[in-house]
Structure 1
Amino acid sequence: MTLPLPDTDFLHALADAADNETLPRFRSGLNLHTGSKPKEGYRFDPVTDADREAERAIRALISERFPDHSIMGEEFGISGSGPLQWVLDPVDGTRPFLCGIPVWGTLIGLTVEGRSQLGMMSQPFTGERFWADGERAWRSGPQGTAQMQTRQGVSLEQAILHITSPEPIARFPEINFAALNDSVLMTRYGGECYAMAMLAAGQIDLCLEYALQPYDIVALVPIIEQAGGVITTLSGGRPEAGGHVLCAASAELHAQALALLNN
């Protein structure tokens, strides 16, 4: 049985609710009551009022409209059960949020029986949104609204690789990052979820992440796949559970990069 999915308007309503909590706190000088959560390999993994209040706002709308849906959020865990589950990261990229750099975003994803179907990434400071409606991927912002398509036909030697942080590289020597890094045109760091949105938009060709949680990736999976990209774990499996994840603009590029990383 095919379960009916919420429409795109509801995705935007959820993003509006989150934006109302995150944007007033960004570069505002407000006391964000910043704390830290334990995270392997990091001395500081921040959480702020923006994270907590945005998740509360999203949860309230989902519970009102779809009380039978389950919700998994970074800040408040899992509530409910059933085949449809919302997966939320209210501020993906809290570090750049604290630094005043607008590469963070609110991630809102929906899985059906564990597989990601809908996704929204909202960046309210730049006025941009990136979403997948179940069939296609879209972006909106100062340049208007358009369907997204990953960049096709790019050789590995001409590919742009992105990784959020170099810190995990040394902790996972079994992943041959050096081989991939030496093979691409250039490697950039620090883009968080915004880099994956740029892969879907045709600006970046490869994104590698070492230690994702479901709420870091579920919303981005359909955005990348419905734009024509490929996203898996480094073992080639589905990425919804997180872990080591590789995104690529094309199947050929994905296969080449995966072979190097696993060599």
Structure 2
Amino acid sequence: MTDTGKYTLENDLALAIGLADAADAISRERFKSVDLEISTKPDRTFVTDADRAVERAIRDLVTSARPEDAFFGEEYGTAGDARRQWIIDPIDGTANFLRGVPVWATLISLAIDGVPVVGVVSAPALGKRWWATIGAGAWIQEGTEAPRQIRVSGVSNLADASLSFQSIEQWDDAGYLDRLISLTRTVWRDRAYGDMWPYMMLAEGLIDVVAEFDVKPYDIAALIPIVLEAGGQFTTIDGHDDLAHGSSLATNGLLHKSVLDHLNTK
């Protein structure tokens, strides 16, 4: 079992769920607000006042509840230096959020020694929340329904698989566009669902493969425990299993080697 220090993973999950509640209260109120403040960051991505408010609120709550833990958020960077680090994307899918598209979520993860062990994905506009801790399964709650455990699909052939590739531009910029097109001609179905949603659909068994480039640790840290605990596999597109290589490949596990082989053969 993962050494979490003086806290149990159950304690940490309870805190993460509380952080998600606080985040949802802020983001839900700002979603589709006529006075939403939007600006552009140096990397040409958008940020809203909601992104910043959510991250500030989560950071304050973590500092109060776990003052010895480190923190890493998309908008305000790193604070502290500890084995235990909370990794936060306050609004994953900001472009959707600012356009009124409901596919966005707050991503909350606790990583210990760089390994995500708790993940919460809260998507209030969709009425869904997913979570997992290592060793305790992956779960979804939809609206006021009781939580239920989720599991990846049993699809074992690429010809029967459903793929989400996220963005043509990403694959073109990475020099993998030809390999993506080849993969789309191999699978049964391909779509670009975007952001956190396809990973959660993968964990629910609704699709079978998700792959993308240009990802940061805060984009994927919360997703990893959920995919793994649902029975899936999560690496980079070239097969690494940490957060620092800039791409991600999540599958139901049965297809992982086939997809890796396909994407890494020129």
Give the TM-score normalised by the residue count of structure 2.
0.92
Q: Alpha-carbon deviations, 1:59-107, whole Å to 9, x = none?
A: 1111000000000000000001110000000000001111211111100
Aligned with 1:213 (options 198, 213, 216): 216
Runs of 4+ residues deviating >4 angstroms: none
Q: Percent identity?
A: 38
2-structure distance, mates of 1:194, 1:235: 22
Determine if the alignment matches structure 1 residue 35 to structure 2 residue 39. Answer: yes
User: Cα RMSD between the aligned structures?
Assistant: 1.5
Task: Output the CA distance in 1 between the equivalents of 2:54 and 2:128.
Answer: 17
Q: How does 1:125-136 map to 2 (within 5 A)?
A: 125-135=125-135, 136=137
Count of matched residue pairs: 257
Q: Which residue number corresponds to residue 163 of structure 2?
A: 161
Alignment of 1:217-228 (within 5 A): 217-228=220-231
Find the counterpart in structure 1 of residue 97 from structure 2.
Answer: 97
Deviations along 1:122-165, whole A, 9 cap, x unmatched? 01122210000222110001353100100023311111101222
Contact 2:155 2:208 in 1 (8 A): no
Cα distance in 2 between the residues matched to 1:194 and 1:54: 19
Give the distance between the partners of 1:159 and 1:153, measured in 2 at CA.
Answer: 6
Is 1:216–1:242's contact at 8 Å kept on the other side of the alignment?
A: no
Answer yes or no: is 1:194 the counterpart of 2:163.
no
Amino acid at match of 1:155: N
Q: Which runs of 5+ in 1 are unaligned?
A: none
Question: Residue 184 of structure 1 aligns to a residue in which SS?
Answer: coil
AA paired with 1:220? L
* Structure 2 residue identity aligned to 1:72: F
2:189 and 2:48 map into 1 onto residues whose CA distance is 33
Q: How does 1:1-263 map to 2 (within 5 A)?
A: 2-3=3-4, 4=7, 5=9, 6-29=11-34, 31-39=35-43, 44-135=44-135, 136-142=137-143, 143-174=145-176, 176-250=179-253, 252-263=254-265
Q: Aligned partners of 1:51, 1:163: CA distance in 2, in Å?
A: 25
| Aligned residues of 1:150 and 1:200 also touching (Cα < 8 A) | yes
Q: Secondary structure at the match of 2:109?
A: strand
